[in-house]
Amino acid sequence: MSEPGYLLVDTYDVLEQHVVSHHVHFGSEVSDGRDARIARTPHRYIWPSELDLMARLAGFELESRWADWDRSALTADSRSHVSVYRLTSA
């Protein structure tokens, strides 16, 4: 993702399931007199199957899953997912 004065670069460690987003602001977007400002945000991601296991261990069951909030079908090419879980009856 990029726009004037901003660049986003992600680096992935697939084995550890970590991603670091590098945010670079430059040009007129930086008001403190520096040429550029860099920020990093680390994330850990999980696969839907891992999320399902954690939910099941906590007493939930999968109710539905979509690729996005518009409820489009989840496919192998989907870049996101929305999972809805329901607490199972005790």
Q: Quick: pLDDT tens for 12-27.
A: 999 999 999 999 988 7
Q: Is 10 strand, coil or helix?
A: strand
What are the angstrom distances between the C-alpha of 32 and each of 8, 12, 25, 36, 63? 20, 31, 11, 9, 49
Q: Quick: pLDDT tens for 25-64.
A: 887 655 655 678 889 999 998 888 999 999 999 999 999 9
pLDDT at position 30 is 57
pLDDT at position 82 is 95
Q: Which two tokens stand for residue 49?
A: 């199957």
